[in-house]
């Protein structure tokens, strides 16, 4: 069963590591411009804090994903 992970329940170093892992995965696309890892992490943190995105542990792939509100609606949580 997939599980939401409250980002504010994580230690800052843990959250930083998770976000770095997610934003540097193959297939991560940020459009027609390049961002540094730090910029990508900052953008992800801002989305999490504003509740426009959420962390989800995907049990099938055993990875953590960042999902938008719209994407999250596809899950039965």
**pTM value surpassing 0.85:** no
User: Is residue 9 a part of any domain in this protein?
Assistant: yes
Domain that holds residue 41: 3-72
Residue 48: is its pLDDT beyond 60? yes
Q: How many domains does the chain have?
A: 1
Rounded average pLDDT over 53-62: 93
Residue 55: is its pLDDT beyond 70? yes
Residue 27: is its pLDDT beyond 80? no
Residue 23: is its pLDDT beyond 60? yes
User: Is residue 36 a part of any domain in this protein?
Assistant: yes
Largest CA distance in the chain: 35
User: Is residue 27 a part of any domain in this protein?
Assistant: yes
**Which CATH number do you get for residue 41?**
1.10.10.610
Rounded average pLDDT over 44-58: 96
The two tokens of residue 32 are 């027609």
Check residue 61 and report its DSSP letter: T
User: Is residue 34 a part of any domain in this protein?
Assistant: yes
User: Is residue 18 a part of any domain in this protein?
Assistant: yes
User: Is residue 77 a part of any domain in this protein?
Assistant: no
């Amino acid at each position: 069963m997939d599980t939401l992970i409250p980002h504010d329940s994580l230690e800052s170093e843990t959250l930083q590591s998770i976000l770095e892992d997610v934003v540097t995965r193959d297939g991560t696309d940020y459009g027609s411009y390049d961002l540094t890892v730090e910029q990508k992490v900052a953008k992800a943190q801002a989305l999490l804090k504003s509740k426009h995105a959420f962390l989800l542990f995907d049990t099938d792939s055993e990875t953590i994903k960042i999902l938008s509100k719209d994407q999250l609606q596809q899950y039965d949580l």
